[in-house]
Amino acid sequence: MAAIVVAVGIGAVAIAPTEVLAILAARIGITLPWTYGEQQETVLLAIRVPRVLATALVGAAWAAAGVATQGLYRTPLADPALVGIGAGAALGAALATGLAVALGVVAQLPGTLLVTAGAFLAALAAAAIVYRVASASGRVVVATMLLAGLALSAFLAALTALVVAAGRVPEMGSVAFWTLGSFSGVVGSDVLIAALAVIPAIAVLARLGPRLDALALGEMEAGHLGVDVSRLTIVISLLFTLLTAVAVAVAGVIAFVALLIPGLVRPLLGQSHRLVAIGSALLGATLLVLADVLARSLFSPVELSIGVITTLVGAPFFLWLLLRDRGLTAR
């Protein structure tokens, strides 16, 4: 919350935290003893608040998608943005944006819904391809999944670049937007759709937490404990695909958030997937809001792609995880 109050104030038009509180309080009929300008009020309500709320929701979505993917594939190395699901969502979202522009509904509620649906369907297809390639007799081989995801991500990103170039529609976004992410184009309908999808999805994930804990023992063992593993696999796959699709539809592919956040939360809260899901959603929201502040203030007025920041932190963490796990298996 504090991060949000500070974050909405930072930007080309500076708004002090006290002014933020005064503006927001005034909206609900409370007068606080701090004064603010009209320009600050307009910027805050029309641009900053939607952007920061969208950032928080997307951060929570990526982090929860990471918990779901890692829990299902029983490895801390999974990230939907790294295994092609994010790139699939980006391709679907770019195509659907083109369609939304043609229908004249872009940046409105039906358009946002269309883009999210496009992202979801394409992400589902990408997830199915990765699963198909990486699973041998029903078991997913993590190394194969990462390699297959690498190739699929590159292929789908190239396709997205092709679609964006061929579309010649500015609303379809740039290649940099889809592959590195940005919150500069957030509109109100983004926040609404994201909230309606992300919050229930995280609630379902938290509810399924104990079953993911059982899955850590192995699929057979989870079955012996009464868990319907086939159903759990389908539900969790739909969850991380939905979360990824929503996140990508709003702000493109932001890599390593899904990998990094659960990895930071587990040492603090333990391994319980229920706690890790809730903790990751909160930490993901907070850290992405802060990362976005950095992205837009570091070289202001030029905005950095937010994926630049998350990758600078997340990629070394991924390498560290690989090093650590290599030590574990060698023992």
Partner 1 sequence: MTYAARGVEVRVGAATLLADVSVEVAPGEIVAVAGPNGAGKSTLIATLAGDRRPDRGSVTLAGRALADWPRLDLARRRAVMSAERSVAFAFTAEEVALLGRLPLHGGDPTEADRAVVATLLEAVDCAHLAGRVFATLSTGERQRVALARAIAQVTDAPGDEPSGDTAAASAERFLLLDEPTSSLDPAHQHLAMRLLRRGADAGRGVLAVLHDLNLAAAYADRIVLMAGARVIATGSPTEVLRADLLERVFGIPMLVLPHPHRRHPLVIAEPPPGEP
- The nearer residue to partner 1, 36 or 73, going by C-beta atoms, is 73
Residue 77 makes CB contacts below 8 A (sequence gap 6+) with 70, 142, 146, 259, 318, 321, 322, 325
Query: What residues contact 156, with CB distance under 8 A and at least 6 apart?
Result: 84, 87, 88, 90, 91, 126
**198 contacts: CB under 8 Å, gap ≥ 6:** 57, 60, 61, 64, 243, 246
Site for partner 1 in 47-106 (CB under 8 A): 74-76
Query: x-or-dash pattern for partner 1, window 155-194, by CB under 8 A?
Result: ----------------------------------------
Phi then psi for residue 140, to 5 deg, are: -90, 125
Assess 270 for contact with partner 1 (CB under 8 A).
yes
Q: What is the DSSP letter of 160?
A: H
Could you say whether residue 214 binds partner 1 (CB under 8 A)? yes
With CB under 8 A as the contact rule, the residue among 220, 302, 323, 330 that binds partner 1 is: 220
The footprint of partner 1 on this chain (CB under 8 A) covers a number of residues equal to 27
Distances in Å between the alpha carbon of 224 and those of 106, 214, 219? 49, 10, 9
> Which tokens go with 291?
């990362």
CB of 305 to partner 1, least distance (A): 32
Query: Is 321 near partner 1 (CB under 8 A)?
Result: no
Binder among 92, 209, 252, 279 for partner 1 (CB under 8 A): 209
Q: Given candidates 14, 271, 322, 326, which one binds partner 1 under the rule CB under 8 A?
A: 271
Name which position in 221, 268, 320, 326 contacts partner 1 (CB under 8 A).
Answer: 221
The tokens describing 33, both together, are 């003893």
Query: Considering the complex, what minimum distance in angstroms separates the CB of residue 74 from partner 1?
Result: 4
Q: From CA 1, how far away is CA 186, in angstroms rounded? A: 20
The residues binding partner 1 (CB under 8 A) are: 74-76, 207, 209-211, 213-218, 220-221, 223-228, 266, 270-272, 274, 328
